[in-house]
Structure 1
Amino acid sequence: MADTPSNMLPLGTKAPDFELLDTVSQKRLNLQQLKGENATVIMFICNHCPFVIHVNPVLVAIANHYQKKGISFIAISSNDAEKYPQDAPDKMTLHAKENKYPFVYLYDETQEVAKAYDAACTPDLYVFNKELDLVYRGQIDDSRPRNGITATGDDLKHALDCVLNNKENTKEQKPSIGCNIKWKN
């Protein structure tokens, strides 16, 4: 299990546009179709990473709560499915259903979207306001699979509450730590 930190894309960065296959609906969807009325959370995740598995229940709970408040959640897997078949689109479909994902689970086959977002690890989280300007990036919270801290999603929830209340997030934004994205050669 490699501990890879986020690259921390500069705040204020516009969300790079994309169109990717949703492995649940089997439709190609783009950012403009998926963005939220108040904010958009983009999460680079995958099926097999222990760091993602550790926070999956919290991500689902947060999405279920905040989607009602006009915040959209978009999960993207950019891993090389040839070398990591457990992250192939058909496995992503099953994974999304098993984990009851209330959000789309997109496949970034070319890895261009991960590169556009400067994503480095799974999970790597980005929160964009309604204008699609980056207002938060980094960790969901301080918990990790081996550190004994319970996953709460506090850092992500704080960022979302700041957006909803039109307040600047002055809390330190810490990089996420996770498995590196499995890049193609």
Structure 2
Amino acid sequence: MALTPSNMMPLGTIAPDFNLPDTISQEQKSLQQLRGEKGTVVMFICNHCPFIKHIDTALVQLGQDYQGSGISIIAISANDVTAFPEDSPEKMARKARDLGYNFPYLYDESQAVAKAYQAACTPDLYLFDAGLACVYRGQFDDSRPGNDKPVTGKDLRTAIDNLLAGEPISDEQKPSIGCNVKWK
């Protein structure tokens, strides 16, 4: 497992727009269609990464816990599927169905969206406010495969809860750590 930190997009950056295929519905989905009324989480994940497998259940719970809150959650995989066939759109859709994702799981075949977001690793997590300005980017929590810390989503959840409550979000944010995005 190569440990790659996130690039930490500057706070205040406006979310880059996109129009990508949703592996679940087989429909093109844009950021404008999917954005939340109060905020939007964009997360770069994939199927094969041990860091994602470590938090998969917690990501499903995150989607359930914030459903109907005005926060939209969007998952994107940009990995090179030639080198990593486990991350193919068909297998993405199967994983989403098997785990019960209640959020779209989009495929960024060109990797242009991942580059626009400065994504470096899986998971790479971003929270944007109602105006699509970045208010959080960083880790899910302190848990990593093998470190015996519980998976809570504390860092991302605190940022979401503060956004929903109109409270300030600390700019002291820890980078996410994971496998590097598998570039072509």
| Counterpart-to-counterpart distance in 2, 1:6 and 1:178 | 8
* Structure 2 residue 13 is the aligned partner of structure 1 residue 24: no
Q: Gaps (5+ residues) in structure 1? A: none
* Alignment coverage as a number of residue pairs: 184
Secondary structure, counterpart of 1:68 in structure 2: coil
Runs (4+) of structure 1 exceeding 4 A deviation are none
Specify the code of the residue in structure 1 equivalent to 2:86: Q
Following TM superposition, by how much is the alpha carbon of 1:172 offset from its aligned partner in structure 2, in angstroms?
A: 2.3
Residue of structure 2 in register with 1:63 after alignment: 63
Q: Gaps (5+ residues) in structure 2? A: none
Bigger mean CA deviation after superposition, 19-28 or 58-67: 58-67
Alignment of 1:7-22 (within 5 A): 7-22=7-22
Following TM superposition, by how much is the alpha carbon of 1:171 offset from its aligned partner in structure 2, in angstroms?
A: 6.0
Secondary structure, counterpart of 1:72 in structure 2: strand
| Counterpart-to-counterpart distance in 2, 1:67 and 1:14 | 23
Percent same amino acid at aligned positions?
60
Following TM superposition, by how much is the alpha carbon of 1:7 offset from its aligned partner in structure 2, in angstroms?
A: 0.3
Residue of structure 2 in register with 1:117 after alignment: 117
Residue of structure 2 in register with 1:156 after alignment: 156
Residue of structure 2 in register with 1:104 after alignment: 104
Specify the code of the residue in structure 2 equivalent to 1:51: F
Structure 2 contact 136–171 (Cα < 8 Å) conserved: no
Query: Could you tell me the TM-score, scaled by structure 1's length?
Result: 0.98
Query: Could you tell me the TM-score, scaled by structure 2's length?
Result: 0.98
Structure 2 contact 136–159 (Cα < 8 Å) conserved: yes
Bigger mean CA deviation after superposition, 56-65 or 165-174: 165-174
Residue of structure 1 in register with 2:91 after alignment: 91
